[in-house]
Structure 1
Amino acid sequence: MNLFYIQSTIREMSYVASFLENNFIGMTWPGTGDLEETSPEEWKERLRGHYKLEDTELAGVMKDLHAFVHTMQDGDYVIIKDEEWAYVGDLGDYYYDDSLGVEEDFICHRRGVTWLGRMPLEDLNDKVQALIHQTATLTQFEHPVSQAQLDRYVTGVNEPTEEAEGKNSTTYKVDKATIEASLHVMRQALDSEDINIRIRAAEAILQYARS
């Protein structure tokens, strides 16, 4: 089993709420199509043609995509974070979803995740702190997973309260206040003068609505 950290803020837009609510993590670069059905050489040609990447940047994107599709495995662990919390999940299989479109910033390359628990950022040990402060899109933990010391936080998905069970309410993987705050930020972003920010906010809200 391996542990990975993946960035959840893409071009200044946080996708933490969407990842948690929709049980996935993801990367952009939708112009490649489903990567399980094509060879790395085909990936390279599609990326080069669709995004006009320079060789150095192209090599970095290829490395990230290869790790996301092939190095990550069903049953590995992944961490994402917001400003206060880190969230750990059990990875599922890779899949490609372009149902919302194939705009440049849309997250089409995905892996399902079963979220297992969350922990305050300050409680993470030095090795995991080093991991989550990497600037790369996707980083693998360079130590045995046991050295991450996450066991006490991996408790399974949150259990519903008795009141929630009585009302058949949704069990949230983050508290409702955080979800509402995140939605408020995304609604404000819809009024941004930057068209790219408005598009990303609309995508995140649509993804939340589909959950």
Structure 2
Amino acid sequence: MIALLAGAPALVAGCAGATGEAPRTPRPGVHVALMPAAWATEASVEGVDGDSAMASALARRGGARVSLLSARLSRSPGCADDAACVREAARALGASKIARTELAGLGATVLVRGAIVDVETQMREQLMQEVVHDADPARLRAAIERLGERLAKPWAPLPPGPRRAWYEEPWLWVGVAAAATAGAAAGIGVALSSGEGDPDVVLTPP
């Protein structure tokens, strides 16, 4: 029993230097095929690079891998308006999601809409929109980036876990409890093996 308890300080001392973040399971990356940004109205704002704005937001906020569909769709006239054709193009890239960016202008006001569609089911998983007043290229790009960040939120990497002190680690207390249990068992063995005339042994749990 003495030898067993003597090893407990060594166990604690060895654990004292073990600190760090709790282990985390990273979320799997998402591969998104990005449709070219399109205007739903004749009124538009020149100089808006909606594709790069959405792609950078999805990658930055959600850690998504983004592939552009523009090159593949341009090879097949009318493919952008055919859901089956778009799905096959996204499949060819190995993407599991499709991101769409649409803009509609009315005077100086523009409605910006972003959507995420599942490649296999063709079901729309997310739809978000924002109204931009006094629209210009900079304001529209900022709006598209905000939408992209919101759309990518479900895929965002988990934040780092809080750092814990060595004495808060669960494995440390499992070891201490095991040592205490072994010591108590040894004490019970000594008490049971003693003669009838010996006094009772009272064990107080730690």
What TM bracket, shorter-length normalisation?
A: under 0.3
Indicate the structure (1 or 2) with the bigger Cα radius of gyration.
Answer: 2
Q: TM-score, length-normalised on structure 1?
A: 0.24
